[in-house]
Amino acid sequence: MNIVIVAINAKFIHTSLAAHSLLAYLDNEEKKHIQLREFTVNQSENLIVSELFAMRPNVLAFSCYIWNISLVRSLVETITKIMPNVVLVFGGPEADFTEHIVVQGEGELAFKSLVRDILSNLPLQQVYKSVEAVSLRDIPFPYENFDGRILYYETSRGCFNRCGYCLSSASTEVRFLPVERVYEDLDIFLDQKVKQVKFVDRTFNCDKQHAIAIWKYLIRHDNGFTNFHFEIAGDLLDDEIISLLKKARPGLFQFEIGVQSTNPATLATIQRSTDSKKIFENVSKLKLIKNIHLHLDLIVGLPYEDYPTFARSFNDVMACRPHKLQVGFLKLLKGSKLRQNADKYGIKFKSNAPYEVLETSYMNFEAIDKLKQVEEIVDLFYNSDGFKYTVNYMIDQFDTPFDFFEALAKYWWEKKYHMLSHKKMSLYTILYEFGKQDDLLSELLRFDMLLRENIRTFPEWMNYQYDNKEITRDSAVHRFTYDVCNVNGQISEKDICVHFDYKKQTNPSFQWQAGFEVLPG
């Protein structure tokens, strides 16, 4: 018997924790009949079909999510024609293939039951669903190979929040993996020097002592290389935790904090209990530590949030200048409370995955489309590498951060830049064209360029010729007539020399940034 678990990830660098956990939960005799193949949505359907056909499977088990379900449906249509005798199995939140076998809920126990029935030649059920929650301690460490990709890991299941847009709101409790077992698993990641481990716990720090124990362990056993990503509730941090986090190596941790909205009516409606003021206070404290990358999220299209209200939420987040701001758009997931109440809030959304919002009673399509333009500009110039000092300066020239990104988005679309493919250097020119086009803006752009790359030739509009004969591949010295390093205050005219060290990175929150120092005299 040849059973193939098929995972189709959003990117090559991703891995499927669900698929690896299903395989790990099986016993050795069962594993002899199982293979796991991972693909990406960017690969062609023909390639995936060809690879699966060559494996001569008896059973194909697909993991179904909003990012891959369209491709899975297309694959199934082809597979049923060329491999009509193959048994098709589907699991995951998008598994609604009523004509095939479906694994529902937590899959480890249910999938194991299916495999046993197949190997025992028993009649197969239409639906396999475990009647009890799987014990997390009984799921072995999920990975056998470490190939440089991002590895996902969980120390808990369930969520203490009941957010209306999320499927986790259906869970009734949070279950934790014992920390002793977590330590054993972390040792494997650390010993293998995995580049990045992303914890998929819905709210990692919902249990303070659980979070502290793991953070302490990672700080104590840091291998100097691996980065750990956590989704946390920013308002649950306190001075004890922040004092602990000060001890972390720069770059050891990065935090994703879901703000979603700062509008009280919106938060109440989606049943998200969060203290926005406390979040921003703690984010500001974490920024002072300067050793943790901070990624904050907002969602467009929630009930009671119109365009001006979203702009206020945006400005509230930007007031503390996170290292990354993700502007996401509401997705009406199957089974979520907001999907069930979509008509109540006038929410119209796409019929096909990922079921993204089109308009609501509070925000029409034109406004949402305008925010998509703003989101693209935020990603290009704020979240991406290379514009930190210039963009932070330009933001301060507007009444609010949202005003800046809105104006730049308007300029971008009027110039039809969204229709073109841009090299990195052309983006610096566009910022210069959009801005005041003065000497200070020119020098800030040059400073950002040099932080990103040891370049020798500069755009003509910069009017700068580099004549330092001591330049090397890893080092350079450049002169400026403004104190361009001072981004937290008024930038004054001041002749300075800056040494750029391309072997050293002084800012862990921006891994691209070269080390630099202002030379005396």
**Mind listing the pLDDT tens digit for each residue in 217-248?**
999 999 999 999 999 999 999 999 999 999 99
Q: How confident is the model at residue 145 (pLDDT cuts 50, 70, 90)?
A: confident
Q: Are residues 84 and 159 in the same domain?
A: no
- As separate numbers, helices (DSSP H) first and strands (DSSP E) second, the chain gives 17, 19
Instruction: Report the greatest alpha carbon distance in the chain.
Output: 84
Query: Residue 119 gets which letter from DSSP?
Result: H
324-329 and 59-63 strand pairing:
unpaired
Whether residue 111 lies inside any domain: the answer is yes
- Of the candidate ranges 156-160, 165-169, 196-200, 210-214, the one whose mean pLDDT is the lowest: 165-169
Whether residue 161 lies inside any domain: the answer is yes
Q: Are residues 106 and 180 in the same domain?
A: no
Higher-confidence position of 423 and 378: 378
Q: Are residues 353 and 264 in the same domain?
A: yes
Domain region containing 206: 146-383
Q: Are residues 325 and 187 in the same domain?
A: yes
**Mind listing the pLDDT tens digit for each residue in 265-315?**
999 999 998 899 999 999 999 999 999 999 999 999 999 999 999 999 999
Query: Which residue type occupies 270?
Result: I
Q: How confident is the model at residue 372 (pLDDT cuts 50, 70, 90)?
A: very high
Q: Are residues 226 and 313 in the same domain?
A: yes
Q: Are residues 109 and 160 in the same domain?
A: no
Q: Are residues 41 and 124 in the same domain?
A: yes
Q: Are residues 376 and 428 in the same domain?
A: no
Output the domain CATH number for residue 362: 3.20.20.70
**Mind listing the pLDDT tens digit for each residue in 307-355?**
999 999 999 999 999 999 999 999 999 999 999 999 999 999 999 999 9
Whether residue 373 lies inside any domain: the answer is yes
Q: Are residues 87 and 168 in the same domain?
A: no
Q: Are residues 99 and 150 in the same domain?
A: no
Q: Are residues 18 and 61 in the same domain?
A: yes
Query: Residue 476 gets which letter from DSSP?
Result: E
Q: Are residues 121 and 171 in the same domain?
A: no
**Mind listing the pLDDT tens digit for each residue in 418-441?**
999 999 899 999 999 999 889 999
Q: In the numeric block, which tokens belong to residue 37?
A: 């193949």
**Three-state secondary structure string covering 289-322:** HCCCEEEEEEEECCCCCCHHHHHHHHHHHHCCCC
Whether residue 216 lies inside any domain: the answer is yes
pLDDT of residue 385: 78
